Amino acid sequence: AQSVSQHNHHVILSEAASLELGCNYSYGGTVNLFWYVQYPGQHLQLLLKYFSGDPLVKGIKGFEAEFIKSKFSFNLRKPSVQWSDTAEYFCAVMGTGGFKTIFGAGTRLFVKA
């Protein structure tokens, strides 16, 4: 069965600090991987996705993520966070072949101005 684990439930950073949010998944086949973000009062939106090819993917607002197949990981990174990055971040995995998309429990990020 698919599962997704996000390592931190709450993260507090100061502006300009670097960010790395951990995500590990469990699935026996090939996968599509996603990060979604939910800003306060807004709906979930896609931040970036890995489908195939280059394991380092870049998304909106300066975010990037690296797929490490051997570690079953898809960590989200940003070199310098801003106050406006305060949000909840969800990692998601979908097994290829039309399987369902499973979400992690989410990580709440608070960036201090």
Q: How far is the CB of 81 from other proteins (least distance, A)?
A: 23
Question: Residue 19 or 91: which CB sits closer to other proteins?
Answer: 91
Q: How far is the CB of 48 from other proteins (least distance, A)?
A: 9
DSSP per-residue codes, 57-103: EE-GGG-EEEEEGGGTEEEEEESS--GGG-EEEEEEEEETTTPPEEE
Cα-based distances in Å from 97 to 3, 29, 94: 17, 10, 9
Residues 20-49 that bind other proteins (CB under 8 A): 32, 34, 36, 43-46, 49
Q: Which of 39, 51, 83, 110 binds other proteins (CB under 8 A)?
A: 51
Phi and psi at residue 99, to the nearest 5°: -85, 165
Residues 54-113 that bind other proteins (CB under 8 A): 90, 94, 96, 98-106
Q: Point out which residues bind other proteins (CB under 8 A).
A: 32, 34, 36, 43-46, 49, 51-52, 90, 94, 96, 98-106
